[in-house]
Amino acid sequence: MARRVFFSFHYDNDINRSMTVRNSWVTQGKEAAGFVDKAEFEKIKRTGKTAVHNWIDSQLNGTSVTVVLIGSDTLTRPFVQYEICESLKRGNGVIGVYIHNIKDMITQKGSVKGNPHTVIGYYSDRSPAYFDNVCDGLYDYIEQDGYNNLGSWIETAAKAHNK
């Protein structure tokens, strides 16, 4: 089944690596949400945090799974944390996909592997929510052939949430 998927990533550090994943998803005839060009994103950011949150909320509408493309600093970014928490509130499946081994289009270098045991928010009792404890799976795009397997990872997460 074709799914509308939200892709979460650290824009400044990982846009080139993220585009590799997004382009492979779209060329397979699937719909990707959460991507906007840099000029448009900067314009949204200039209008304030609330405007960015509203944009994220609108992009999450109609999605069933959020794919967090994990680079070196992704899980520490406030907007990424917001995207993950909002996805969980909506009942979306959430998976993490390491992209550190994808070479940047400009530098032709990989990056440092991000730590999945990162606090992405707090529960109502103030206990920390760690990404690796709330996600539905962690995968490596290069080592686990994400080009061919991303769809099945997404489908597994969606089914786990009856989506």
Helix, strand and coil content of the chain, in percent to the nearest 5, comes to 45, 20, 35
Hey, where are the domains in the chain? Answer: 4-160
**Per-residue confidence (pLDDT) for residue 74, from 0 to 100:** 95
Cα 89 to Cα 27: distance, rounded to the nearest angstrom = 30
- The pTM assigned to this predicted structure is 0.89
**Per-residue confidence (pLDDT) for residue 1, from 0 to 100:** 52
119 φ/ψ angles, rounded to the nearest 5 degrees = -70, 125
**Residue 109's closest CA among 70, 163, 71, 52?**
71
50 CA to centre of own chain = 20
**Per-residue confidence (pLDDT) for residue 34, from 0 to 100:** 58
Fold (CATH) for 4-160: Rossmann fold (3.40.50)
**Per-residue confidence (pLDDT) for residue 41, from 0 to 100:** 75
**Per-residue confidence (pLDDT) for residue 18, from 0 to 100:** 86
**Per-residue confidence (pLDDT) for residue 32, from 0 to 100:** 57
- The token pair at 80 is 């990424």
Query: What's the CA angle centered on 117, arms 116 and 119, to 5 degrees?
Result: 110
**Per-residue confidence (pLDDT) for residue 54, from 0 to 100:** 94
Mean pLDDT by 10 residues, the chain (163 residues): 81 84 69 60 86 92 94 95 96 96 75 92 95 97 94 93 92
**Per-residue confidence (pLDDT) for residue 20, from 0 to 100:** 86
Q: How many CA atoms lie within 13 A of 1 on its CB side?
A: 12
**Per-residue confidence (pLDDT) for residue 16, from 0 to 100:** 83
